[in-house]
Amino acid sequence: MKDNSAVPTHHNPRISIVIPARNEARNLEVILPMLPLVHQVILVDGASVDGTADVARRVLPKIEVIHQTRRGKGNALACGFAAATGDIIVMFDADGSADSAEIPAFIAALTAGADVAKGSRFRPGGGSHDITRFRGLGNHCLNLLTNILLRTRYTDLCYGYNAFWRDILPHLDLPDVTLKQRSDGRMIWGDGFEIETILTCRMAAAGLIVTEVASFEKLRIHGVSNLNAVSDGLRVLKTILDEHRRARRAGPARSIERTRVRTSRSVPAVHLALVSNPAEEAA
C-alpha cells in the first residue's frame, strides 16, 4: 500500500479504510482486490471462525488485521478508528454492499471542505438493491425524527458508508475500546448496530460540516446479514432520543479545532488507482 506521508495532507491525504468483519472470508476474496491503493487498510476481526483473517492476509498481503476488544459493529469500528494512521478514515462494510468505486467521491467531498462525507442511498444518483419497503419506511421515519430533533437535513440516517477526517474523532466520544465486556453479557452502548446513528447525531451536535454523497447499496454477496429490522430499529430510536438529550445537555455546538489545513472548493478531483492484482502491489 502506498505511503503518501510526504504529500501535504490537504492536497493528497493519506487514507485509512476500516473494515469490520465477522465470518466474511468469502466476501473478502471479492472486495479486497477491488479496493483502491491507499495508505492503510485495516480489517477488524470479530472472533471469526471461517478463516476471515487468513483470507484477508492472503488476498491483500499488506492489510493490517486487528481484533476487536468486545463484540458488536460499533466496537469493531472504534477499534479500527483507534488503529488508523491516515488523515482520512473510510468506513467500509465487508459484505460487498459498498462500492469501492465511490471512494474518490467521498474523498473529493472532504478535500473540498467537509469534515464528514456521509453516504446516502436517497440522494439523486444513489439507491439500493438491499433495502426493503418496510426497512425503507422505518429509515424514513427515523430520519425525519432526527432532522426535527437535531435540526439537520439528512436524507439517510442509517447508512454505514461514510468517510471523515481523523482529527474529528475526539468530538465523537465513542466508548473506550480498552473497557472490558460487561459482566452481565449486555453490550456497552455504542458497541452495536446503533453506531451509525450515534456517529450521525454526534457529528451534527458537534457542528461538523457534513456533505452527503450519493451512494448505491449493493446486495450482500455471500452469507446472511445479522441486522434485525425490528430490534435494531428500536435500538436506533432509543439512540436518537438519547443523543437528543445528550446534545441539549451539552448546549450549542462550539467551533471545533482542526489540525488539518482547510481547503477551498477549487481542489481538483481525487483519483485513486484500483488494486486489481494484489501480487502487483506486493511487488
pLDDT number for residue 278: 38
Q: List the grid coordinates of 141.
A: 421515519
Q: What is the pLDDT of residues 108-120, one digit of tens each?
A: 999 999 999 999 9
Q: Give the pLDDT confidence score for residue 4 in this predicted structure.
A: 39
Q: What is the pLDDT of residue 251?
A: 78
Q: Flag whether the pTM goes above 0.75.
A: yes
pLDDT for res 233: 76
| Top-confidence residue, 144 or 262 | 144
Could you give the dihedral angle defined by the CA atoms of residues 106, 110, 111 and 112, in that order, rounded to the nearest 10 degrees?
A: 100
Residues in contact with 236: Cβ distance below 8 Å, sequence separation at least 6, in sequence order? 142, 157, 158, 193, 194, 197
Q: What is the mean pLDDT of residues 11-16?
A: 90
What are 195-252's pLDDT values in tens digits?
Answer: 999 999 999 999 999 999 999 999 999 987 666 667 777 888 899 999 999 988 887 7
Please check the confidence at residue 273 and state whether its pLDDT lies above 80.
no
- E-assigned strands of the chain? 15-21, 40-45, 64-67, 88-91, 116-120, 127-128, 162-165, 210-214, 216-217
pLDDT value at 1 more than 70: no
Name the more confident of 150 and 262: 150
